[in-house]
Amino acid sequence: DTGVSQDPRHKITKRGQNVTFRCDPISEHNRLYWYRQTLGQGPEFLTYFQNEAQLEKSRLLSDRFSAERPKGSFSTLEIQRTEQGDSAMYLCASSPKTGGSNEQFFGPGTRLTVL
Amino acid sequence: QQQVKQSPQSLIVQKGGIPIINCAYENTAFDYFPWYQQFPGKGPALLIAIRPDVSEKKEGRFTISFNKSAKQFSLHIMDSQPGDSATYFCAATPYSGAGSYQLTFGKGTKLSVIP
């Protein structure tokens, strides 16, 4: 399978705990994106990496959220001190740089439930 | 501020019908418009995309119509099948980057195709 992969697929945690999600993009895609999707809504942009550089962050990305892509390959998204409002599907997408295409290919998502 | 407005929220058609989903955008910097299909519990899958230099694009049973002056675009699904039952999202982004690659999504249309 050469698509975008995400781990874990589901995470249930108690309010106040920290959680970390991982995304492995399509091989050789140098752009990586994180989105959040709540029930009945479209995905909302959180942040974007080009290689290891985090170039854009949404206002949705509060200081409890941090994302990294240390070697320009996989990425992690950490949420500290989780709140019930953080319950959502967290989606990762990747796109190639060549050709100027902005085709973004999404992974299956990590569904977070905060109790 | 919702930059991409999508309608209808839900749609029911009979097998073989042609569902039409409409989107309107406000940001004139947008010039890449993809459509995504999402099944429950899965990530969005890229279906078809268009740039505003063409008024129509067809891929298989899926057609995008684009009206640049009205800032509107729509998805038509020819000969719809029960397997097309899913939620469809329109999205938009600046193609050339302009410092941003984030996709702005509509709220989605839940399509049901009945046999």
What's the average model confidence in pLDDT over A42-48? 95
In this predicted model, what pLDDT tens digit does every residue of A57-81 receive, in sequence order?
A: 998 889 999 999 998 899 999 999 9
Q: How far is A102 from chain B (nearest CA, A)?
A: 6
**CB contacts, 8 Å: A103 with chain B:** 34, 46, 49
Residue A108 in contact with partner chain B when CB distance is under 8 A: yes
Phi/psi at B107 (5° precision) = -85, -10
Residue A74 in contact with partner chain B when CB distance is under 8 A: no
CB pair distance less than 8 Å for A41 and B107: yes
- Which pLDDT does position B31 carry in this prediction? 86
Sign of CA dihedral B74, B75, B78, B82: negative
Q: Give chain B's length.
A: 115
**CB contacts, 8 Å: A95 with chain B:** 101
Burial status of residue B22 (CB atoms within 10 A of its CB: 0-12, 13-18, 19 or more): middle
Sign of CA dihedral B2, B87, A95, A12: positive
B79 contacts B90 by C-beta, under 8 angstroms: no
- Which pLDDT does position A42 carry in this prediction? 95
A84 contacts A114 by C-beta, under 8 angstroms: yes
Residue B84 CA from chain centroid, whole number: 14
Strands (E), A1-115: 5-7, 10-13, 19-24, 31-37, 44-50, 53-57, 65-68, 75-79, 88-95, 105-106, 110-114
- Which pLDDT does position A28 carry in this prediction? 84
From CA A67, how far away is CA A73, in angstroms rounded? 13
**Per-residue confidence of chain B (115 residues) as pLDDT tens digits?**
568 999 999 999 999 999 999 999 998 888 899 999 999 989 999 999 999 889 999 999 999 999 999 999 999 999 999 999 999 999 998 866 556 688 999 999 999 999 9
Helix (H) or strand (E) holding B112: strand B109-114
